[in-house]
Amino acid sequence: METKNRRTLVGEGHAFVVGLPSDFTLTEVLKEAKKIRLATAFAHRSGWKHFRRGIAEGNASVSLLTGLDCCQTDPELLKEWLQLKATEANRVEAKLASKETFFHPKVLIVNYEGKHPDFAIVGSGNLSQGGMHDNTECCMYVEGRELVKQLASWFEAEFSRTGAVLLTKPVIERYEPLYQRNRERRKRLEKDQLLAETRIPSVGKILDWNWKDALREAKKYFASREFAEDYTSRQKGAAQILKALKYPEFTFDKRGFDEFFSLGSFGKLNPLNRDKVFRSAARIRNELRKLIADGETIL
């Protein structure tokens, strides 16, 4: 089965919900509910948009519980929850999970009080567009009375824990600067993740490379005219590099360093960085001397 054809809480996508009824529509379910409990490790407006209408147009008692671990939860969403609490104080409660442990659940519990079977959805997806649709997630829809009852009991215990914090304006104001401060850090992590996702498959291809094929290709290259030309060029380049850097004393000056930068036998260096790098010339000289003295240890 293609993941794009799997049913999610909000249409076809990747965040698969096992056992979801064929006529399930999240907005209508929430509008008809009598009690809604939602526990999510982190919460974004992109996920809440799928709940907003059903909760606003219904009359269910709503309990919302989210975590602040890793500064992922969107403070703008917390402000919306706070506003919802203010306008629907008789039926909406919102809290931040206890910090006693890392808060990581993703649980939705819906009660109808007899009109329809109560159900719960438990899985890997957070309250975000990714967690509900775009990401590869897997959740389970369950209607068993005893299972739903146990989940509701678990939720109430977490919601009433001593360490759980009632959502208020001062709490959000204290959290928001931390969230903003970590935005750049998260962006860097996303870049590193993308880099890893790009490199790992290529490493896999290298590991899958047949050793006999690799050996055959290497022999072919070493016997080629291309290798002979490359080898001669690199021998010449190595001698030029050693001369420019005044090996083995490495007493090179700015002129010698510029000459070294201009040599491309082993790969070209960016000339825009040349003067900046030379400002550390004393350190470079010292480290090169160490490398010559005891290369294995230094490496």
CATH no. for residue 35? 3.30.870.10
Query: Do 173 and 267 belong together in one domain?
Result: no
Task: Show which of 187, 202, 227 is a domain's final residue.
Answer: 187
Query: Do 225 and 138 belong together in one domain?
Result: no
Query: Do 113 and 257 belong together in one domain?
Result: no
CB 139 within 8 A of CB 107: no
Query: Do 168 and 57 belong together in one domain?
Result: yes
Our measurement of the distance from residue 96's CA atom to the centroid of its chain's CA atoms, rounded to an integer in Å, reads: 22
Number of domains observed in the structure of the chain: 2
**Residue 173 and residue 177: Cα distance in Å, rounded?**
7
Evaluate whether residue 199 is within a structural domain. Answer: no
Q: What is the pLDDT of residue 35?
A: 97
Confidence bin at 1 (pLDDT 50/70/90): very low
Query: Do 271 and 123 belong together in one domain?
Result: no
Evaluate whether residue 255 is within a structural domain. Answer: yes
Q: What's the pTM? A: 0.67
Query: Do 183 and 227 belong together in one domain?
Result: no
Evaluate whether residue 193 is within a structural domain. Answer: no
Evaluate whether residue 205 is within a structural domain. Answer: no
Query: Do 156 and 256 belong together in one domain?
Result: no
Name the range with the highest mean pLDDT among 7-16, 193-202, 270-279: 7-16
Task: Show which of 121, 156, 187 is a domain's final residue.
Answer: 187
CB 109 within 8 A of CB 152: yes
Sheet strands (E) in the chain:
6-8, 11-13, 15-18, 35-40, 61-66, 92-96, 106-111, 119-123, 137-142, 165-166
Range of 273's domain?
Answer: 210-298
pLDDT tens digits for range 49-92? 999 999 999 999 999 999 998 889 999 999 999 999 999 989 99
- pLDDT at residue 22 is higher than 80: yes
The single-letter code of the amino acid at 173 is E
Sign of CA pseudo-dihedral 182, 183, 188, 190: positive
Query: Do 170 and 216 belong together in one domain?
Result: no
